[in-house]
């Protein structure tokens, strides 16, 4: 438990977009996919996923439809819209820039500054 990192505010949306970009998924599937692609390193409260999903649908970044899951249960499947795909690209770029900048700042040795 303790080796899992807390999510930074705002990053859940990015993770959801990324998870869904690989193909339509239902909520629980998104959770599993995030765990899978992050190597289970992130701590996400299960229920917290849903307000994020609803928000993304409302912003027009995701679209949802009801279907049947692999377990043969009714579930709501999410997939990216064109706007969502664009947003994912932008957010990924800006996240990478930020991460690189912070990593670079933190890796500087004191005498070099």
Partner 1 sequence: MKLVDSLRLRIATLFQRSEMNAEIEEELRSHIQHRADDLERSGLVRAEAERRARIEFGGHEKFKEECYEALGGTFIETLVQDACFSLRVLRKSPGFAIVAILTLALAIGANAVVFAVLNALILRPLNVPRAESLFGISRWSDKSPYQSYPDYLDLRDHNRSFDGLAACNISQAGLDTGDNPARVWLYEVSGNYFDALGIQPYLGRFFHASDEHGPNSAPYIVLTYAYWHAHFQDDRGVVGRTVRLNKHPFAILGVAPPEFRGTLLFFSPDFFVPIVNHEQVGGADDLNARGTHWIFMVMGHLKAGVTPAQAITDLTSIGSYLEKTYPQDDGQMSFSLARPSLAGDFGGRPIRAFVAGLTLLAGLILLAACANLGSLFAARAADRSREVALRLALGAGRVRILRQLFTEAILISLIGGAVGLWGSVVLLRGLSVWQPFPEFPINLAVSPDASVYGVALLLALASGFLFGAVPVRQIVQTNPYGVIKSGSTGTGGRRMTARDLLLVVQIAICAVLVASSMVAVRGLARSLHSSFGFEPRNVMLVDTDLSMAGYSSDKVPAMQRRMSDAMQTIPGVASVGLVDSPPLHMGWTTSIVFTDETTDLRPANAAATTIRFEVSPDYFRAAGTALLSGRTFTGHDDKDAPRVAVINQEFARKVLGSATNAVGRYFKRQDGTRLQVVGIVEGGKYTANLAEDPQPAMFLPILQSPSSETWMVVRSNRDPQQLAAAIKSRLRGLDAGLPSFIQTWNEAMNGALFGPRVATMSLGVLGVMGAMLSITGIFGMAAYSVSKRMRELGIRMALGAQRKEVLHAALGRPLKLLAFGSATGLLLGILASRVLAFIVYQATPRDPLVLAGVVLAMALLGLLATWIPAQRVLSIEPLILLREE
Q: Which is nearer to partner 1, 28 or 95 (CB)?
A: 28
How far apart are CB 35 and partner 1 at their closest, in Å? 12
Number of residues this chain uses to bind partner 1 (CB under 8 A): 20
CB 44 within 8 A of CB 34: yes
Are β-strands 5-6 and 25-26 bridged in parallel, bridged antiparallel, or unpaired?
unpaired
Across 1-113, the runs of DSSP E, i.e. the strands, are 5-6, 25-26, 42-43, 62-68, 74-80
Q: Any contact of residue 54 with partner 1 (CB under 8 A)?
A: yes
**Closest by CA position to 34, among listed 56, 18, 55, 50:** 18
Binders of partner 1 in range 12-51 (CB under 8 A): 26-29, 45-48, 50-51
- Residue of the chain from 69, 81, 85, 92 that contacts partner 1 (CB under 8 A): 69
Which residues here bind partner 1, judged by CB under 8 A?
26-29, 45-48, 50-52, 54-55, 58, 69, 71, 73-76
């Amino acid at each position: 438990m303790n080796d899992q990192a807390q999510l930074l505010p705002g990053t859940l949306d990015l993770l959801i977009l990324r998870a869904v970009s690989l193909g339509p998924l239902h909520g629980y599937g998104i959770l599993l996919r995030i765990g899978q692609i992050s190597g289970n390193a992130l701590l996400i409260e299960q229920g917290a996923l849903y307000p994020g999903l609803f928000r993304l649908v409302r912003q027009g970044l995701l679209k949802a439809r009801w279907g049947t899951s692999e377990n043969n249960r009714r579930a709501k499947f999410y997939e990216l819209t064109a706007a969502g795909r664009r947003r994912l690209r932008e957010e990924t770029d800006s996240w990478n820039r930020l991460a690189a900048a912070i990593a670079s700042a933190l890796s500087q040795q004191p005498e070099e500054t």
